[in-house]
Structure 1
């Protein structure tokens, strides 16, 4: 009738990965119990600091909780050539631990045998294109709750891929990877990658004041604000900017972020982040990998395209 996870946010993400509409378990609610609320923030869990597990369990039995239908990422992979589910030339990886909702770093992957290729694959469809070429489509049963990272297997190689967001024209880009998150994941890794620091805001405000030589009144007001209690002003602007990165876990939207885009005469990124209903990524020079909630790693070859969407029917039924 229900699934209960006992541990931290990582355990919750692990349990969530097993609940899927494809396997017939999508209707099951997931209750998360924090076994160490004094040392674990437990953003996804019922009992925070000051509440015991016993109290949370009692609330479950009495129905005294707030229901939250958290949206998840629906992933479909289209292949124009290589068979879906085949072993990649490189070993597939499994992350050492899930990407916690409050983590500041994504876990580093470790190499495991290639037999773990497509462990989350559940449905494969075939269809012919208009020119008669056979294409293969596969949906993944693992619906990431937090985020998906699209990157190279190692940290150093530059990612060269084609990215398409909603109905915009596709762009060929170079960068260190793409993070695609839900509202739940917008407070996790994606947030820590995108947030601005107070020191950066202070530097921008100082530079802006210096640029207002033609408007001495505005220049004086900014400099005075920075010198007299300027920390409050910096913190206020920092909070205002960072608050735009977080959105409701129940909203059927994705947020995408390009990490460290390379921009020069040849390559340009028209927009490095934003909200979308659909994002697609196609490798152009070397295979990439999809890191799902830090739990599962899926290879993406250069003749394959990954599509990321949100389907409200995939929502995970949780409680706080």
Structure 2
């Protein structure tokens, strides 16, 4: 989805002239957006035409139409955009058997590190010839599995951060706990540890993290309070601006090298005083466990989806071989 398509999807009631004026009022250039949109559309059409010319059945869908049912229908998933589109496409692929191939449709404005080389952006037919001839190698990229444990965690729905518009009057809306609307005031005020043990659940989130996970308060100005255990070591109570976990380490392209099954974590702006301390504000890990002590917190995956993660909830982060994402490298 191009930025122009995103704006149209977000504001379908606006005419083109109204959209132009709305963008201008925000300091954005309508003509520039249309130019990038046409480049994206032209390269997308070259992909679909090349595939159909070889008898491949193709379904072109937008981000808001991307569902598990569509993923199950396809033999191969292809993302048309940049790294953000690739990450979004990867999030719903839960098996290592289904390949994901990324095409950078605007290489002058997008790095496309996860996509095919930029030389194929406007000439996808060349890449397709190599793929059909078997002149490629499979590459499995490790991902992070997230398991939540806590009060009715299986009822927590993800918030789509791309479609989210937070109003100044209601920053809590996306993660307001609607599970408690039918409860009495007394039940609603119970600490998670005081609720019935029968309502404690464990669930694996239906999304895998390919790039990064952020855990912390939804309001950036608030201090995040949680307990952290790395690779089974003793728990450490921490206060900070949140915790970031990503795959392995950054390389010179400012992306990750996921060739080794390890995560790297960073405690952001840790508070260190007579009560709280952080022995290792950053490091590598095979398994990370976090217990939330926050009251309006989220667990955000690859910058695309956010899950409520409030006081008492626990998250287990680990890398499993069966969660690896199948991608290609052209020889």
TM-score interval, smaller chain? 0.5 to 0.7
Q: Name stretches of at least 5 consecutive residues in structure 2 with no aligned partner.
A: 1-74, 164-170, 180-195
Q: Compared with structure 1, are the counterparts of its residues 50 and 14 closer, same or farther at alpha carbon in structure 2 (3 Å cutoff)?
A: closer
1:138 has 2:203 as partner:
yes
5+ residue gaps, structure 1: 98-108, 118-131, 188-241
Alignment of 1:157-236 (within 5 A): 157-183=222-248, 186-187=249-250
* Shift in Å, 1:297: 0.6
Relative to its length, the structure with more helix (as a share) is: 2
More RCO (CA 8 Å, sep 6+): 1
Q: How many residues align?
A: 230
CA contact (8 A) 1:263 1:269 kept: yes
Report what 2:78 is aligned to: 4
Question: 1:225 corresponds to which residue?
Answer: none
Q: CA RMSD in A?
A: 2.9
Deviations for 1:136-173, whole angstroms, at most 9, x for unmatched residues?
Answer: 11101201111110011111100011011012111000
Task: Tell me, in whole angstroms, the C-alpha distance in 2 between the residues paired with 1:75 and 1:146.
Answer: 13
Aligned residue number for residue 250 of structure 1: 259
Equivalent of residue 47 in structure 1, options 107, 117, 134: 117
CA contact 1:94–1:111 (8 Å) conserved in 2: no
Deviations 1:25-68 (A, max 9, x none): x4101111111223321100012257633332232222222321
Task: Output the CA distance in 1 between the equivalents of 2:155 and 2:320.
Answer: 27
Cα distance in 1, alignment partners of residues 178 and 79 from structure 2:
24
1:261 aligns to 2:278 (yes or no): no
Q: Matches of residues 21-100 of structure 1 in structure 2 within 5 Å? A: 21=95, 26-48=96-118, 52-79=123-150, 82-86=151-155, 93-96=159-162
How many angstroms apart in 2 are the aligned matches of 1:312 and 1:20? Answer: 12
Taking structure 2 as the reference length, what is the TM-score of the superposition?
0.63
8 Å contact kept, 1:180–1:256:
yes
Q: Conserved in 1, the CA contact under 8 Å of 2:142 and 2:258? A: yes
- Mapped pair 1:299 → 2:308: yes
Q: TM-score, normalised by structure 1?
A: 0.65
Tell me if structure 1 keeps the 8 A contact 2:154–2:201: no
